[in-house]
A = this chain, B = another copy of it.
């Protein structure tokens, strides 16, 4: 059975820029709806400063509540920006954590006030530490298909960064199209050389649908054998104040594409509708990709 792993990041990437603060019980309600739909790989939160990301103020309380509910620990992940965040995350039985490094000096400076090389060193230290502790570490390479400050980056630069991270033992390198600047040809240009040296299950795609090419990029990835994708319920995410800053590729879109390609996600699209509705109610955003609107209407045009 050819299985695709959908890493649901709605609770983390989807919420982090939402202006309406969700309580822990809200998040538990959303997580439950996602799990009922078969989404078992959930990135729950990030262990960042609540001053930087107020939505993550309950990172500990929410993690605790989720683990207390008794789901298998390997199903949950959390993002750790640095060693301090890592230590906080280690207070919980996470078996997998995510780290981030951005593709340029500018982007890393904006994110964590470090240049690229220092940011990279920080992540390399996290990889080492995680492996000492027996944890799986995913590394997101942010802005891998374009930097919000410096624009497009040379393919060889992204490849060199990717190879350093994978070579240093990152269990999964997630090519992250943070601003939705990518396209299938660029995805192939990045993935094909990496697949010469590393197996497909060490590579993932994190896509934003800013310009509408998230699904074509995902298809290009699937065709190359990639089976790990981040996605966000209903397309939750982005900055609601900035119309051009859109969310992750919608989980329902990605699930629908994968299933139609003959791949298995384990996600029940019918049941996922409830998760999209809950996410919309909690955030006050209008959510849902075309396949969701289609499922809600089931009206068919005839001409």
Contacts and interface: CB of A to CB of B under 8 A. Distances in A.
A303 B243 contact: no
A195 interface: no
Contact of A301 (B216, B244, B256): B244
A122 to B, nearest CB: 17
A277 to B, nearest CB: 15
Interface stretch (A128-136, A163-171, A257-265): A257-265
A242 interface: yes
Contact of A185 (B218, B245, B261): B261
A50 interface: no
A299 interface: yes
Interface in A138-160: 148
Interface stretch (A27-35, A84-92, A113-121, A288-296): A288-296
Interface stretch (A67-75, A203-211, A226-234): A203-211
A272 to B, nearest CB: 14
A253 interface: yes
A238 B243 CA distance: 25
A179 interface: yes
A209 B290 contact: yes
A124 interface: no
A160 to B, nearest CB: 23
Give the secondary structure class of A's interface. Answer: loop
Interface string A259-293: 01110000000000000000000000000011101
Contacts of A16: 303
Contacts of A216: 215-216, 218-219, 257
A302 interface: yes
Most buried by B among A16, A180, A216, A293: A216
Nearest to A252: B212
A243 B290 contact: no
Contacts of A260: 183-186, 213
A298 interface: yes
Given A215-B216, A244-B297, 17 more contacts: A17-B303, A148-B300, A178-B301, A183-B257, A185-B260, A185-B261, A186-B260, A210-B300, A210-B301, A212-B253, A212-B256, A212-B290, A216-B219, A219-B219, A243-B299, A244-B294, A245-B301
For the complex of A and B, the 6 pairs showing the least CB-CB separation, nearest first, are A245-B301, A244-B297, A183-B260, A212-B290, A244-B299, A242-B299
